[in-house]
Structure 1
Amino acid sequence: MTINTRPGLDLVPAYRQGKAASPGASKLSSNESPHQPLDSVVTAVTERLTTIHRYPDIGAAQLRDAIAGKYAVNADNIALGAGSVEVASQLIHAVAGPGDEVVFAWRSFEAYPSLVRIAGAVPVEVPLNQDAAHDLPAMLEAITERTKLIFICNPNNPTGTVVDAQQLDDFVNAVPRDVLVVIDEAYVHFDRSAVRADGLALFAKYPHVAVLHTFSKAYGLAGLRIGYAIAPTEVAQNLNKVAIPFSVTDLAQVAALASLRAEVELAARISEVVQQRERLLQGLLAAGYPAIASQANFVWVPAGEASAELEALLDAGGVVARTFAGEGVRISSGTSQDVDRVLKAVAGQRSEVTA
């Protein structure tokens, strides 16, 4: 007997986790924080271990209040999930149904097309422009009467490029008010560009904007899975309706609260990651690779067909990166020792790849 399979599921690839690293190698494949958790966060989580036989607060009231205070929004505008990717899934399920369209740049966050198809909606991929950035005019042209949601990943994963603030404002203003624009700011803490768009300012200005944030990257809580959306009240309420009950654990909530209280310490760590990102970028350029200036915690090398060659070179040098076959290699910004290892691996191996 053959078990029935949902139609269209063959178009949905299983999410591919960043490749694991062997002992002693530098794991730069998943854009994780290179730093261990802060002592204050570890203490807060440890002290809560004795209550893990209880369900967490499904509404995460303390954390939502803390986030609301930080961004001067109402707690009713905040919805949480097990990482911003789960909140992205909630947004799709809450807004788009079968046959509806969801627009996003491509290449961008690799989970977008799968999440859209799982919801029964239709992914509309708009190619990046020649600068590996969002082509906003083309995205506007892609909007149809079936469009329900648009993702803007800013900074973009995996290219690290950002959308100019005024251009994004103009774009949001041009999008019909019944289409939700989601500004995915998973990497916003690493953005040092002069043109940085502020998703929260756009949320305050326009009625059809939601913003995604995560505690996985800058806050270093990737293993606890917690992210959130700041969205119009009705949208946030609907996210709670489609969310998996109790998906945000008590330990994750406690760790997030402790992290918000330790932002001064975390800011120093973020600055170190940014510094190493710039070292990584300049070293790759010096080695002849067409690396792209990034505002995230990684650097993208659009190596095309030579991507496998670069991956092999890094593997031989004890570095695990994320390769998108035939397109490029994304290398996370790690510690100074991690970046040293990358630069040593590519030194003297000048690539013939051109941008």
Structure 2
Amino acid sequence: MTSLQNRTTAAEVQPRGVLGKLPRYAAGKPPVAVEGLESFKLSSNENPLPPIPAVLEAIADTTAVNRYPDPVANALRAELAEFLDVPMEDIVTGTGSLGALNQILATFAGQNDDGVPDEVVYPWRSFEAYPISVGLSGANSVQIPVKDDGTHDLEAMAAAVNERTKIVLLCTPNNPTGPSLTKTDVEWFIGQVPSDVIVIIDEAYQEFVRDPEVVNGIEMYQKYPNVISLRTFSKAHGLANLRVGYSVSNPELTQYLRVSAVPFGVSSVAEHAAIASLRNFDQVLERVQSLVDERDRVTSGLKELDWYVPEAQGNFVWLNLGENTQEFAALAGEQALSVRAFGNEGIRVSIGEPEANTRFLELCAVYPKRPPFPQNA
């Protein structure tokens, strides 16, 4: 067979039909170089600060990369168990919280033997990987629009749960809009959901939260058998490149999650780094607090400029710019700032270095098309 025939045959190979129905994940773009200005990337919710020194030392000391890692990351799970004060058996690691989420979806939601797909309910707009992960699992997405102030519409989400619902996703703080869920609201919601429906509390930005009323997923899983807490080392710990996250749930759930968990999903490099970060968590918190201080400076600055900003409890702010979204993103690019534009919905701006945050505020000071204040603000 000639190489041309090979190419013709390969062209006839088609992916699963679901791929054509799914959105494409759009990672935050790097900033464009502008002469005379230092460029800053504010488009990916990355921690702009490097990992703590102990983490860098742990990475440098990891040399056995020719060997497979522990398939279930026992050392990290033991460290997390002590850190969180939970049984080690309740923790399942994954390649970031997204990898851990994919394991949950693969285990509990998909297409059934009768060909009828399960349903997964989640807020929208929220983390843009949700519809991709749900679709690839074989389940159907049920997207419930967030309110004008960026909060979950929990009543509408509860009403959307039916006999086909297998999982409900709660994102707190919600990415990209910013607000968190309170313990009171989440407990009310759990009370509306059948006990055989899994409630995932996605807490990727949990360490940045300063509202004392915000829900704690660990407390919820300890109280409700159908709750799973989802967390990551990518944000507060600054380990985004190493891809290490985890879920925490009761043994009735973890016994199945271990079957779908990707073997060797967390590398030994990532495991050593995560352990070192946990053992020096006071230093991590110092860096997180510096970002929280910057976040508060940015939100206060925006409010002084008469900009409406939803409650920001993560390491980012949301600008509900609607049809002006792309215009603002282009202007930010001219200032050597990359921001994350979502179609004609709005812009998420990650908290970055102080100079970057100041330049962002300076742009907002001269931009005339401010987002409208919602009626319930």
Range into which the TM-score falls when normalised by the shorter chain: over 0.9
Please identify, of 99-108 and 15-24, the stretch whose mean Cα deviation from structure 2 is larger: 15-24
Residue 290 of structure 1 and its aligned partner are, at CA, apart by 2.5
> TM-score, normalised on structure 2?
0.91
Structure 1: which amino acid aligns with 2:19? L
Letter in 2 for 1:318: A
Query: CA offset at residue 244 of structure 1?
Result: 2.2
1:203 aligns with 2:217: no
Q: How does 1:1-355 map to 2 (within 5 A)?
A: 1=9, 2-22=12-32, 24-48=38-62, 50-98=63-111, 99-355=117-373
* Contact 1:281/1:292, CA 8 A, preserved across alignment: no
Per the alignment, in what secondary structure is the counterpart of residue 13 of structure 1?
Answer: coil
Deviation readout 1:216-273 (Å, 9 max, x if unpaired): 0000000100000001213223222222221211100000000001111111111111
Do the aligned partners of 2:310 and 2:317 also contact (CA within 8 Å) in 1? yes
1:287 deviates by: 3.6
Partner residue in 1 for 2:5: none
Q: Say whether the 8 Å CA contact 2:203–2:217 is kept in structure 1.
A: yes
Distance 1:28 1:330 in 2: 8
Q: Return the letter of the residue paired with 2:67.
A: R
- Matched residues in 1 for 2:95 and 2:332: separation? 32
Rounded to whole Å, the distance in 1 between the matches of 2:371 and 2:65 is 52
Instruction: Note the alpha carbon deviations across 1:154-178, whole angstroms, 9 max, x for none.
Output: 1100011111211111111221110
Q: How many Å separate the matches in 2 of 1:352 and 1:302?
A: 9
Secondary structure of residue in 1 paired with 2:66: coil
**Partner residue of 2:6?**
none
- The alignment partner of 1:223 has SS state of helix
Cα shift readout 1:130-173 (whole Å, capped 9, x = no counterpart): 32101111111000100000100011000111112111111112
| Residue range with higher mean Cα deviation, 6-15 or 152-161 | 6-15
Paired residues of 1:101 and 1:147 also in contact (CA < 8 A): yes
Equivalent-residue separation in structure 2 for 1:259 and 1:180 (angstroms) = 30
* Aligned equivalents of 1:353, 1:180: Cα separation in 2: 36
2-structure distance, mates of 1:215, 1:321: 22
Distance across 2 between alignment mates of 1:16 and 1:194: 33
Compute the displacement of 1:352 (Å). 4.4
Distance in 2 (CA, whole Å) between partners of 1:14 and 1:177 is 33
For residue 349 of structure 1, report the CA deviation from its aligned partner: 2.5
Q: How many angstroms apart in 1 are the aligned matches of 2:320 and 2:198?
A: 31
SS of equivalent to 1:130 = coil
One-letter amino acid of the structure 2 residue matched with residue 15 of structure 1: Y
Q: Using the TM superposition, name which of 153-162 and 282-291 deviates more.
A: 282-291
Contact map agreement 1:290 1:303 (CA 8 A) in 2 = no
The answer to which of 257-266 and 193-202 deviates more is 193-202
Aligned partners of 1:316 and 1:345 also within 8 Å: no
Opposite residue 253 of structure 2, the aligned amino acid is V
Contact 1:190–1:295 (Cα < 8 Å) also in 2: yes
- Structure 1 stretches lacking a partner, 5+ long: none
What is the root-mean-square deviation of aligned Cα atoms in Å? Answer: 1.3
TM-score (ref. length: structure 1): 0.97
Report the secondary structure of 1:140's partner residue.
Answer: helix
One-letter amino acid matched to 2:68: Y
Deviates most, 144-153 or 172-181: 172-181
Give the counterpart letter for 2:339 in structure 1.
A
| Aligned-residue offset at 1:283 | 2.4
User: Identical aligned pairs, as a percentage?
Assistant: 39
> 2-side partners of 1:332 and 1:140: how far apart?
31
**Any conservation in 2 of the 1:84–1:213 contact (CA below 8 Å)?**
yes
Encode CA deviations 1:164-214: one digit per residue, 9 max, x unaligned: 211111111221110000000001111111321111111111110000000
Instruction: Write the letter of the residue equivalent to 2:102.
Output: S
- Give the secondary-structure state (helix, strand or coil) at the position aligned to 2:199: strand
Contact 2:97 2:232 in 1 (8 A): yes
Worse-matched range after superposition: 181-190 or 170-179: 170-179
> Could you tell me how far apart the structure 2 residues matched to 1:247 and 1:15 are?
21
